[in-house]
Amino acid sequence: MPSPWAGVSKEIEMYRVLMDRYHPEKEYSYVSLEGFFVAKMTAELFRRAGEDFTKQDIIDEIKKLYFEIENNLDMDESKRICKCFNNVYLTYYEDGVFWEIDEKY
């Protein structure tokens, strides 16, 4: 999971803008960032399934989305739903704060 404080992707920027707008009293966190990604993917599943969807439509879309994420490396970056899945973000915790290590593997 990328850092909610130092991440530089458009998704992280959107997360921070929305947190600041709708929950300015809350601090950024890994948990809320993960929830943000899950909500984005869930919304994408319903968008793909259309208005009159069935349980099977949702299952089919989950399988397609899983396949897309699994093959994320081969996909044009501009078409990826999330650009964060193929990186490991190293962090360390010191004095009550998570710090991101600048190298990505």
Contact between 34 and 59 under an 8 Å Cβ cutoff? The reply is no
Mean pLDDT taken over the chain: 79
Structure tokens at 27: 């601090």
Specify whether the CB–CB gap between 25 and 36 falls below 8 A.
no
Q: Let me know if residue 14 belongs to a domain.
A: yes
**What is the share, in percent, of the chain residues with pLDDT greater than 90?**
30
Q: Is 4 part of a structural domain of the chain? A: no
In a domain, 46, yes or no: yes
Is 88 part of a structural domain of the chain? Answer: yes
- What's the average model confidence in pLDDT over 85-96? 68
Q: What is the pLDDT of residue 68?
A: 77
The per-residue pLDDT for range 29-55, each reduced to its tens digit, is: 888 998 998 898 889 889 999 999 999
The pLDDT-based confidence of 88 (bands split at 50, 70, 90) is: low
Residue 1 domain flag:
no
Number of independent structural domains in the chain: 1
What's the mean pLDDT in 76-98? 65
> Is residue 99 classed exposed, middle or buried when 0-12, 13-18 and 19+ CB atoms within 10 A define those classes?
middle
pLDDT over 60 at 58, yes or no: yes
**Residue 2 resides in a domain:** no
pTM over 0.95: no
Query: Whole domain around residue 33: which residue ranges?
Result: 10-104
- Does residue 55 form part of some domain? yes
Residue 69 falls inside a structural domain: yes
